[in-house]
Each structure stands twice: as structure tokens, then as C-alpha cells.
Structure 1
Amino acid sequence: MQSLTRFFHSLGFALLFCLAVVPSTSRAADNAPIPAIAAAANIKFALDDIVKNFTAETGLKVRVSYGSSGNFVAQIQHGAPFEMLLSADERYIAELNKVGFTQGEGVQYAVGRLALVAPKNSPLALDIELNGLKALLAAGQLERFAIANPDHAPYGERARELLKKLGLWDELQTKLILGENASQAAQFAISGSTQGGIIPLSLAIAPQFQALGHYLALPTDLHGPLNQRMALMPKASSTAERFYQYLQSDAARAVFTQYGFGLPVS
């Protein structure tokens, strides 16, 4: 596998989505302390819309940082002052709850899906059994293929499960480019420096992606579930608590649906 950091450092690739771990802050004028929210990178576009709607309705601000769920768990355990975590995999919330870093078990807020994607100039044909990917490999025409790092990004872990199930994982080892989180994997998958990748459907659906690439939603039976869960930290403020409740509202659920997420039973 090739390190994304090393590989793309020299390219100076412009971050098309601005999806790295960068705060996203609502703009309402309010002197109250602004709670810091940690969120899985795959919900970037959906959560940005939800934050805007929340601010419009309440006048309250939240500050969101996006990254991989596994990295956020480590940061929270080392004292990072986040008041809420929206994880891409519910096991991370369970891990934090077990050692007393959350208020209870939290709430599942969405069910994620994977997508096979390719830049518009890519020779990769998209199909749910990945026969196009197999054909490129067999012809020696696949140079690079992007997924999120499976060691700490749930969508990368599920991509690895899918590739193993289809018998492609071992053969892809020398071709893989690993994003530090799902959003980086999406950037690299359409950068023109890869032939494609497996990324969250929620990112592939976004207009910013569709302007540059193609996507195909992949069957959910090829990997374990992506049950996305959120929880408040013990010292969460009233604003964070209100945002937590808003994320469970019909308005927020409608936005998640718009970006390709399934919804848990209320």
C-alpha cells in the first residue's frame, strides 16, 4: 500500500471538497460558548446542511470538525474538548461509553452505504460485482485505487471486507492508496491520479463529486453494517444537547436521507 500523505504531498492536489479535518461553524451571532462537535468525515455534506438549518431555527452555533471515527476516539480519550461525537460506526461509541467518556450508549442516527466511484476519464467500468475492476487488474491497467484507511476509518474497514469477499483484496495490495479518512479517500478517488475507489455513498452523491466522477451504490450484503451512532460527552453544554436532539428530528433525518443514508427505526 502506498501512503497517501507521501504520494500526494508533491502533487499539491487542491482539496475539492474542503473535507479535511477543518472546523465548520454556523454563523449565527451569539455570545454563548460554541460547543465543539467531532463528526465522521462521511457525513460532511449532510451535516453542513443540518448545521445551517439548526442555526436558522435556533440562532445557536456549533463548531464541527471532520475526520476518522477511530482518530476522534483517541483524541477524546486524551482530553480533546469535544462535546459530542457522531461516529461512522457504533462500536466507537460503545468503546467510549465503556470507559465513561459518553452520556450513556447514545443514539443511532443513520445507516451508511458504500459506493464504487471513478473519475469521468477513468477506464474503470462500474458494476456491483466489481467485474470492471477485475478486468482492469487482469489487463494490468489498474495503477491506483483509493479507499479510506481500514485501521481507523469504518468505511475503509467495510471496503476491505467487501474486497476480500469478492476475492480482490490480496491482488489490490500494491495498488491501494489509503485516505486518512473517508473524505480524503473521496478526493483521491476523483483526483485523476487514481482509476477510482470505494467511498461513502453520501459523498459520491454530492454535486461536488458528480461534477467530476461517476458512482454506483454497492450492495450492503457484501460487508458488515455501517450503523452510525452519536453520543454526548459528560460535560456537554445545553447547546450541544439541543443540537443532539435536533439531529433526531424529522428535519435532520430528511437531510440524511437526501444524501443516501438509511435511517434507523425511531
Structure 2
Amino acid sequence: MIRWIAACAALLLAGTLQASEPVRIAAASDLRYALDEILAVYRQAHPDAAIDVIYGSSGKMTTQIINGAPYDIFFSADIAFPRQLQEHGLTVTEPAVYALGRIVLWSNSLDASQLSLADLTDSRIRRIAIAQPSHAPYGQRAQEALQAAGVWDAVQPKLVFGENIAHTAQMTQSGAAQVGIIALSLARFPDLARHGYTLIDDALHNPLTQGYVVTRRGADKPAALAFAEFMATRPAHEIMRRYGFLMPGEQEP
């Protein structure tokens, strides 16, 4: 009897601790500004919501979750990574598309609005930043676009690689690279938007179909499921569109 009571108390305590823990989100770094705004709106309606967000590359975060990282929701820049987690039995929701992303040419020292991918071969451009293609979807799409434009071989010696797309933007902003291929969502942030950009033709690369899942760790957290559902609401969609994302089923205007 004593053992049964102790076991019940332990279960009750575990449930209480689980409920009091913050919701932990792993998010692709292209979401850094848009998701921060969405969270601000969400907290106005849910002032007691405890949500922590870590931004990084989708590939690295997938590996972290597979290895036991304590994330409840994963917003990836490529739906292939949530599907990979599902294959490992680490999700409680089906991988779902939350947005489509775009890539742009951006610079704070050149007029990027007048640049094309072909211009990157110019000898006056010595450093070009892209995200690391091995684990960052935006880097993969940058490489695909450069290859499709026929300039990959010529620009490879100039390339410098960011750990994720936000790091890539920072490298370009700091002058470590003269031009960067970054997320439209970052180029739309006011500090960067004043420099202009050129939207890269999405026919040159595979779609940036961005997807999310609630992980197995978030299964018993109603707050995790509630925030995941909020991402499909009109207020969240309005913010995402402002940062250049297309919503599922939408066409480019």
C-alpha cells in the first residue's frame, strides 16, 4: 500500500513538473524575426505562456532531437526533416506545412536590387555568403540556384559559409562577405530591408516547403499543441506574409 501511494505521488509530481515546464521550440533561423513577433502576439492573449525558442539550422536541430534534445515543437525550413523525425518515431503529429520560403541576393555595401546571380562571377565581388548546404535548407537552395544559373563552379572559391541562414545574414551585414544569399524573411526585417534585395527565381531551386511537428516530448503539453495550432491562425499568417512567406496553398501575388 505504501509503495502504491509513493508511486502515485511520484506520478503526480512528474505530471506537475511536466505542466510547469516551458514549451521548448526548435525553429529554423529564417523564422527569427517573424516568430518573435508571433510569440509577442500570442503572449498578449496568453500572458502566462512560458515558451522558449532556440533558433538554428534545421539539419543540426533534427540530429539534436534524434539524440534526445528536449524540444516540444520543431519548425523546420524543410519538411523533410520533420518527416525524418516521424520515421524515427519521435513525433505525435503529422508533419504539416506552415509556410513556403524564398531566397534573395542581399548586400549592405552594394545595390543588391540591381544584382543577378550572373553578377556574382565579377572579380570585384570577392566573398559570397551562403548557409552551409550540408545541414541548412536555405544553403541547399542557394547551391541549387547557383548551379542552375551555371555559376557554381566560378563562385565556389568565393564562398563563405554560415552555420545557418541568420548567421549568413550576419556575415554579410558585418562585411565578412560582400553579397549573401539569404532568406527573404530576414531581408524584410527593417534593419536589413533598407538595403534592398533581388528575389531569386524559385524555378532555379527546389521549393522551400517549411514544415513542423510536435515531438513525442510535447505530447502531454497542452500548451505546445495550443501554440502549434495558433500558427495556423489569421494573426500568425498576417505576420508571416509580412516577412515574405507564402502560406500553404497560396500563390505568389
TM-score range, shorter chain: 0.7 to 0.9
Deviations 1:113-151 (A, max 9, x none): 0011111x3376734x423323x2xxx212100000000
Matched letter for residue 247 of structure 2: L
Matches of 1:261 and 1:124 in 2, distance apart? 20
CA contact (8 A) 1:182 1:199 kept: yes
Aligned pairs, how many? 229
1:129-140 → structure 2 map (5 Å cutoff): 129-134=116-121, 136=122, 140=123
The residue identity in structure 2 corresponding to 1:36 is: R
CA change 1:123–1:251 in 2 (3 A) is closer
8 Å CA contact 2:120–2:155 kept in 1: the answer is: no
The higher radius of gyration belongs to 2
- Residue correspondence of structure 1 range 75-94 to structure 2 within 5 A: 75-94=64-83
Gaps of 5+ in 1: 1-30
Name the counterpart of 1:4: none
Partner of 1:18: none
The reply to whether residue 157 of structure 1 matches residue 118 of structure 2 is no
Q: Does 2:36 correspond to 1:52?
A: no
SS in 2 for 1:111: strand
Counterpart Cα distance in 1 of 2:210 and 2:33 = 15
- Corresponding residue for 2:114? 126
- 3-state SS of the aligned residue for 2:216? coil
What letter corresponds to residue 98 of structure 1 in structure 2? Answer: E
CA shift for structure 1 position 235: 2.6
Residue deviations 1:90-115 (CA, integer Å, cap 9, x gap): 00011110110111322211000001
Displacement of 1:238: 1.0
Distance 1:115 1:125 in 2: 10
Q: 2:92 aligns with which of 79, 103, 106?
A: 103
Q: SS of 2:176's equivalent? A: coil
Q: Is the 8 A contact 1:125 1:133 kept in 2?
A: no
User: What's 1:240 paired with?
Assistant: 224
Distance 1:61 1:51 in 2: 10
Please give the secondary structure, in 1, of the residue aligned with 2:236: helix
Query: How many angstroms apart in 2 are the aligned matches of 1:99 and 1:222?
Result: 32
Query: Structure 1: how far apart are the matches of 2:113 and 2:127?
Result: 15
- Distance in 1 (alpha carbons) for counterparts of 2:137 and 2:72: 21
Give the letter aligned to residue 55 of structure 1.
R
Pairing 1:220–2:207 present: no
TM-score between the two structures when normalised by the length of structure 2: 0.86
Q: Secondary structure at the match of 1:81?
A: coil
Question: Is the Cα–Cα contact under 8 Å of residues 144 and 204 in structure 2 kept in the other structure?
Answer: yes
CA contact (8 A) 1:37 1:62 kept: yes
| 2:111/2:196 contact within 8 Å kept | no
Show the counterpart of 2:16.
Answer: none
The alignment-based identity, stated in percent, is 36
TM-score (norm 1): 0.82
Equivalent residue, structure 2, for 1:183: 166
**Higher mean C-alpha deviation, range 178-187 or range 52-61:** 52-61
